[in-house]
Structure 1
Amino acid sequence: MAGPEPVETIDFINDLSKRWNMAIIQGNTDEMIVKSTGSDKYTPPNEIMAASLKYAQEVLRPDQKEFLYELPAQLKETIGNLEILFVHGSPRRNNEDIFPNMDIEKVKEMVDRVTENIIFCGHTHMPVNYHVGKQAIINVGSVGRPFTELPKACYVILDYPDLSGKEFSFNYRFVDYDYKSAADKLAKLPFKGADKLAQMLIKATSRYPE
């Protein structure tokens, strides 16, 4: 949702998941697209995002909606001696924000019942990481719609050289991409506010278009 090519993007991700056995989880907007019921949980934050949601629901094929519907909300993986939890928002909810500059006590509350060594999350599209005891909470940012000072695709590489131990490191990668072309495509989509969403690819002055 809120991107220039929802149909092509889902096909691309689905193909990657099959060819490379990639693990994929469901985001909150994926859930809204396939489970929208009018409840507060599935209500977009404003009219522009609602129009974007409606557009995605109209253009996606039935098989693509089924793909989104069947994605797991969370995934747990064990690599060597590391246990890793993948979530979209927080371990509690897929639409709970883990922002930069949060009170660490609030972060602790979010992960209170989690036992994994690493928690990877996203949702806010803002890269940030916290440490709670021996636990790392890593917001990986966003490849497709980054909310950073510079409009670069953002992701994280985990380095875990000794599978018998629990020492690891991680690095954020920021990659140039043709965000102006992406914005041009988005601005031409046939729903109200597409032009404002497009501007956010160039400069994200707020989290949601106004």
Structure 2
Amino acid sequence: MRILLISDIHGNKEALDAVLEVPHDMVICLGDLADYGPSPSECIDLIMQQGIETILGNHDAAVGSGIDCGCGYKYKHLSEATRDYTWKNTTEEQMAFLRQLPFSIEKEADGLKLYFTHGSPRSNYEYIRPETPEEELEEMLSGIDADVVFIGHSHVPFVRTHGDMLIVNPGSTGQPRDEDWHASCAVFDTSSRETELIRLDYDMDSTCRKIEDRMPNADELTAILKRGY
């Protein structure tokens, strides 16, 4: 089974459309549908209409429940600046959908135990990064019975091992922060146990025009998309 992993869409409908064209048998979204981008309503609607299983991200919780996003200092002001725009452009039904998203999903396929969450198994505000020390990973993953753990949140794609466990981050679909502007996703093949990290072109010009026409802090938001960080 080919599982398409998408994450951190952040209201970028053009990028979301691009990654969903990747051949797959199942899609799992690791959270953060809204904030930063110009099309939160359209992104949430597409996820709902296609019945894509989705994890609660920290921005989903902030939009749906009005709590602090817990963002890092570098980007928090943009999250707060775009929150009013996001609220004005999402319906109560869409916010209710965000509020009911689960913290984690567990599945079994081809003899593998799979665990999906947004940040870490301890918190959807906590980052697992490529360089996270092994001793910190041990604490974050304590008590998790899984062969593969899928996480998002950092906007940086990577694959690494921790003991017998594989950790996969598909990167950010809608707002990459690894100095590559292309939409990011991953495909995990449960049969071969191989992961493919994928980068795709999308109509960034259209996304940027929408930001410029509709949103506060437009110059900063479009510059981040174009730089890839």
Which of 29, 37, 40 pairs up with 1:6? 40
> 1:146 aligns to what?
176
Conserved 8 A contact 1:35-1:42 = no
Which protein has greater RCO, CA pairs closer than 8 Å, 6+ apart? 2
> 1:203 aligns to what?
227
Greater C-alpha Rg: 1
Query: How does the TM-score come out when normalised to structure 1?
Result: 0.84
TM-aligned CA distance change 1:180 to 1:101, over 3 Å: farther
Task: Report the 3-state secondary structure (helix = DSSP H, G, I; strand = E; otherwise coil) of the residue aligned with 2:210.
Answer: helix
Distance 1:7 1:195 in 2: 22
Task: Write out aligned runs for 1:26-175 (5 A).
Answer: 26-37=56-67, 41-42=68-69, 45=73, 46-161=76-191, 168-175=193-200
Q: CA deviation at 1:57?
A: 1.6
- Report sequence identity in percent: 29
Which of 185, 196, 199 pairs up with 2:210? 185
1:58-112 deviations in Å (ceiling 9; x for gaps)? 2211111111111111111111311111000111100111123222222222112
Task: Report the 3-state secondary structure (helix = DSSP H, G, I; strand = E; otherwise coil) of the residue aligned with 1:107.
Answer: helix
Q: CA RMSD in A?
A: 1.7
5+ residue gaps, structure 1:
162-166, 206-210
5+ residue gaps, structure 2:
1-34
Distance 2:53 2:89 in 1: 25
Conserved 8 A contact 2:180-2:228 = no
Query: How does the TM-score come out when normalised to structure 2?
Result: 0.78
Equivalent residue pairs, number: 192
